[in-house]
Amino acid sequence: MIQLTHQTIDSAAFVRQAQSPDAGAVVLFLGSTRRMTNGRETRTLFYDSYEEMAEKELTNLEAEARRRWALTECFIIHRLGEVPLGEASVAIVVASPHRRDAFDAGQWLIDTLKQSVPIWKQEHWADGTTDWVHPMPLSNHTTKSDN
């Protein structure tokens, strides 16, 4: 199941749902808003997306993960709008009979999500400036905004 939400992600509820007699392993990955990036302090993050396409891409990711690994459950939840410091912007929960598949699927899902799903984060720095984050080849380029 995939979901885009503007609410706090209740990761414990998804972990509970993923637990079953067939799942010998349940892996949870949380991506959370970090205070410091390359020596700069973040005040908060905002996430924007092309929602119809992001939902489609996330659905494709789930299908591909289920095709590659023996998963008994697969949840991909991404939060949009403001995600304050320490809170989760993304939760991935994968369950499988044996741990290797769950670890591998979880790693692949977050790595691929970061490359292909049309979602963008905007840094709101402690100094009052903002930057959209657009990773480019050779550098982690950002685009200045006026507000």
Contact set with another protein (CB under 8 A)? 31, 47-50, 52-54, 56, 78, 89-90, 110, 113-122, 132-137, 141-143, 145-146
To which residue do tokens 């789930």 refer? 62
Q: How far is CA 136 from the centre of its chain?
A: 19
By C-beta, is 23 or 110 nearer to another protein? 110
Q: At what angle do helices 99-116 and 51-68 cross, to 10 degrees?
A: 150
Minimum CB distance to another protein smaller for 79 or for 96: 79
Q: How far is the CB of 71 from another protein (least distance, A)?
A: 20
Pairing mode, strands 130-133 and 119-125: antiparallel
Q: Is 15 helix (H, G, I), strand (E, B) or coil?
A: helix
CB of 6 to another protein, least distance (A): 15
Minimum Å gap between C-beta 93 and another protein is 15
